[in-house]
């Protein structure tokens, strides 16, 4: 069965600090996809990134970067120079494996609450 | 291009009443997923539907809950005889295909409160 663990329940930082959110996953698939979503205080879920397992190149988008390590089953998310607007709950997610056929049913981690103080 | 639309945003029901939650997927998307976010818990999958078909309902409670996605109109998540434990945020997501690689775009959710 798929499993996603976000061990950090809450993180609190001061503006301009860098912060890394951890995500560790379990899957029997040899190829798979991973996702990060953001849930700001307003409550909606916002897609951030999709990563496939056969591309280990790290990805950077502005202040956001992602470090995918297949060997340790981790897909960590770093925010550089954090801002108050980054305050949100962040979820890591992994699609299902149903009898060898992966499809979109997502298993989410428990989420990490990030609070950025001014 | 409008995103995933869910309504109502907030729904208050008394115990024993029925709750109907609606979800209109993004234009061109024919795959819909429902997830529930209970207080102090993460997001849990409930059901996956394509037009006129339920593909996977393994996350749905066996009683009182049902879902549909008709040929025309929005997807509906129906909860009959609601109880306090049903109070949660219910999210709908849509994607153009059902494969694992497809991004699911989420609606803003419906917050159900059962009095």
Per the model's pLDDT, the better-predicted residue between A33 and B88 turns out to be: B88
pLDDT category of residue B48 using cuts at 50, 70 and 90: very high
Residue A67's DSSP bridge partners are A76
Q: Residue B49: which pLDDT band, with cuts at 50, 70 and 90?
A: very high
Q: How confident is the model at residue B21 (pLDDT cuts 50, 70, 90)?
A: very high
Judge: B106–A47 Cβ closer than 8 Å, yes or no. yes
Q: What percent of chain B has pLDDT over 90?
A: 81
Average pLDDT over residues B92-103: 83
Q: Say what the pLDDT of residue A101 is.
A: 57
What pLDDT score does A109 carry?
A: 95
For residue B27, pLDDT beyond 70: yes
**């609601």: which residue's tokens?**
B82
Name the interface residues of A facing B (CB cutoff 8 Å): 32-33, 35, 37, 42-47, 50, 52, 91, 93, 95-96, 98, 102-111
pLDDT at site A18? 97
E strands within chain B?
Answer: 5-7, 10-13, 19-24, 31-37, 43-50, 53-56, 65-68, 75-79, 88-95, 105-106, 110-114
Per-position pLDDT tens, chain A of length 118: 789 999 999 999 999 999 999 999 998 888 888 999 999 999 999 999 998 888 777 788 899 999 999 899 999 999 999 999 999 999 999 987 655 555 778 999 999 999 999 9
Phi, psi of B96 (to 5 degrees): -75, -30
* Alpha carbon distance B38, B46 (integer Å): 12
Q: What is the pLDDT of residue B39?
A: 79
Query: Is the Cβ of B36 closer than 8 Å to some Cβ of chain A?
Result: no
Taking a C-beta distance cutoff of 8 angstroms, is the pair A109, B42 a contact? yes
Q: What does the buried/exposed string (b/e) look like for A17-54 if buried means 16 or more CB atoms within 10 Å of the residue's CB?
A: eebebbbbbebebeebbbbbbbbeeeebbeebbbbebe
Nearest to A106 among B99, B104, B108 (CB): B104
Distances in whole angstroms, Cα of residue A33 to Cα of each of A7, A14, A46, A103, B7: 20, 32, 17, 10, 30
pLDDT at A97: 65
What is the reported pLDDT for A2? 85
How far is A102 from A33, CA to CA, in rounded Å?
A: 9
Residue among B111, B54, B52, B88 at smallest CA distance from A105 = B54
Contact B25, B34 (CB under 8 A): no
Could B106 and A52 be called an inter-chain contact, meaning their C-beta atoms sit closer than 8 Å? no
Identify the sign of the CA torsion B61, B91, B51, A102. negative
Contact: B35, A91; criterion CB under 8 Å? no
Report pLDDT for A80.
96
């Amino acid at each position: 069965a798929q499993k996603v663990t976000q061990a950090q329940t809450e993180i609190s930082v001061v503006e301009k600090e860098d912060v890394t959110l951890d995500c560790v996953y379990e899957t029997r698939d040899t190829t798979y996809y991973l996702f990060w979503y953001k849930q700001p205080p307003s409550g909606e879920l916002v897609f951030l990134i999709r990563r496939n397992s056969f591309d280990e190149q790290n990805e950077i988008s502005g202040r956001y970067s992602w470090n995918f390590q297949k060997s340790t089953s981790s897909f960590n998310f770093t925010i550089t120079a954090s801002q108050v607007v980054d305050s949100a709950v962040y979820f890591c997610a992994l699609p299902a494996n149903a009898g060898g056929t992966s499809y979109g049913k997502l298993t989410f981690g428990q989420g990490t609450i990030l609070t950025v103080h001014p | 291009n409008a995103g995933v639309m869910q309504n109502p945003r907030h729904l208050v029901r008394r115990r024993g009443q029925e709750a109907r939650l609606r979800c209109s997927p993004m234009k061109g998307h024919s795959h819909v997923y429902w997830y529930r976010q209970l207080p102090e818990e993460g997001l849990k999958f409930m059901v996956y539907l394509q037009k006129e078909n339920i593909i996977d309902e393994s996350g749905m409670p066996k009683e009182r809950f049902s879902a549909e996605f008709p040929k025309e109109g929005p997807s509906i998540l129906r909860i009959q005889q609601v109880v306090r434990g049903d109070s949660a945020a219910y999210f709908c997501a849509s994607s153009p295909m059902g494969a694992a690689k497809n991004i699911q775009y989420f609606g803003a959710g419906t917050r159900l409160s059962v009095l």
